[in-house]
């Protein structure tokens, strides 16, 4: 294990520097260019970080000495994605609400899992409150565009004050749980660093377009750390060899996902009012099963 972490030994520094680079990009280029790059990053790194779920389940079962039937697991996995996609068609409001809750928990889990000494029911609220606080920062910063996307998905306009309520509720709960976990010596974290991160997120969300803001957070602050965690879980180390192995095992799922989205784009066209809601709904449908897989991985 002497080469452990060779590729991403300074991941935090890389993420921060790249965030400032992307912020510069947002200041100097228009929304159209930002959105094109955002789509590219989400379709590559974003979808890639959730493209190896079946391999993760297989490895998890192997470590737990449980039986693994690939066809059975793959069938259930695909059916679950189709079920989630159908929710957005038949019950879009419920689907979107559930997606936001799942995403909030998932983002919080990725960020805080390695900093907590033990898991409990409190950590579920802690993960969720942090993730929802970050999302609410994005919603409040881009409220007009966010409302437009939500209305196109659900057919309903959310009262603008709702985003402010979510911001203060999730933020207050997060701060209270952070103090509690720190006081009980269950959390290892620098509050100065965490405040810096949140201020940086707010600056990004206020400066960039909605899609570019989401891409910066989703790719740099979530997908990349998640990829590192997954590769370490699967191969024990993050090296060029293990990255190549990861890409090989995830390629088929990734290719199918991107091809499906490309066909939707060709069928629907470039109209952002139509395509963006479907794009986020597509991401949501493949996110639900991925969140459940990662919960299992982090146990």
What was the pLDDT predicted at 269?
Answer: 60
Crossing angle for the helix pair 92-112 and 224-235, nearest 10 degrees? 70
As given in the structure block, the two tokens for residue 53 are 């779920």
CA distance 212 to 30: 11
What was the pLDDT predicted at 295?
Answer: 87
What was the pLDDT predicted at 2?
Answer: 42
Mean predicted confidence (pLDDT) in 36-54:
90
For Cα atoms 116, 127, 212, give the angle at the middle one, nearest 5 degrees: 120
pLDDT digits (tens, 9 = 90+) for 127-165: 999 999 999 999 999 999 999 989 988 888 899 999 999
CA distance 71 to 83: 18
As given in the structure block, the two tokens for residue 51 are 């493209």
**Across 150-154, 168-172, 221-225, 269-273, least confident range:** 269-273
Separation of first and last alpha carbons in the chain = 23
What was the pLDDT predicted at 299?
Answer: 73
Which runs of consecutive H residues, i.e. helices, occur in the chain?
A: 11-28, 31-41, 47-48, 53-63, 70-90, 92-112, 121-141, 143-154, 160-183, 191-207, 210-215, 224-235, 240-268, 272-298
Mean predicted confidence (pLDDT) in 266-284:
71
Reduced to 3 states (helix: H, G, I; strand: E, B; else coil), residue 155 is coil
**Across 26-40, 91-105, 266-280, least confident range:** 266-280
Crossing angle for the helix pair 92-112 and 70-90, nearest 10 degrees? 130
Q: Is the pLDDT of residue 5 over 50?
A: no
Q: What are phi and psi of 116, to 5 degrees?
A: -100, 140
For the chain, give the mean pLDDT: 89
Share of the chain above pLDDT 70, in %: 94
Contact 226, 291 (CB under 8 A): no
Alpha carbon distances (Å) from 20 to 14, 156, 210, 263? 10, 35, 17, 34
Q: Is the pLDDT of residue 234 over 60?
A: yes
């Amino acid at each position: 294990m002497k080469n452990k972490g060779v590729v991403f030994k300074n991941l935090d520094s890389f993420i921060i520097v790249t965030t400032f680079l992307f912020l510069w990009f947002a200041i100097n280029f228009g929304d159209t260019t930002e959105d094109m790059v955002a789509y590219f990053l989400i379709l590559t790194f974003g979808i890639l970080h959730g493209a190896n779920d079946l391999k993760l389940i297989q490895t998890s079962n192997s470590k737990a000495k449980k039986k693994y039937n690939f066809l059975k697991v793959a069938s259930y996995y695909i059916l679950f994605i189709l079920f989630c996609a159908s929710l957005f068609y038949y019950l879009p409001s419920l689907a979107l609400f559930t997606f936001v809750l799942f995403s909030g928990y998932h983002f919080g889990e990725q960020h805080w899992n390695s900093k907590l000494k033990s898991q409990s029911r409190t950590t579920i609220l802690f993960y969720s409150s942090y993730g929802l606080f970050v999302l609410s920062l994005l919603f409040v910063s881009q409220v007009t565009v966010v409302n437009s996307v939500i209305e196109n998905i659900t057919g309903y306009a959310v009262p603008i004050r709702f985003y402010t309520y979510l911001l203060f509720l999730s933020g207050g709960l997060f701060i209270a749980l952070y103090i509690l976990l720190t006081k009980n010596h269950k959390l290892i974290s620098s509050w100065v660093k965490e405040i810096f991160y949140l201020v940086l997120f707010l600056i990004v969300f206020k400066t960039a377009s909605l899609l570019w803001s989401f891409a910066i957070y989703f790719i740099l602050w979530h997908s990349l750390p998640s990829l590192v965690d997954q590769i370490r879980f699967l191969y024990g180390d993050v090296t060029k060899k293990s990255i190549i192995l990861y890409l090989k095992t995830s390629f088929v799922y990734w290719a199918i996902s991107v091809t499906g989205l490309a066909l939707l784009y060709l069928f629907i066209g470039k109209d952002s009012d139509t395509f963006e809601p479907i794009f986020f709904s597509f991401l949501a449908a493949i996110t639900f099963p991925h969140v459940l897989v990662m919960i299992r991985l982090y146990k």
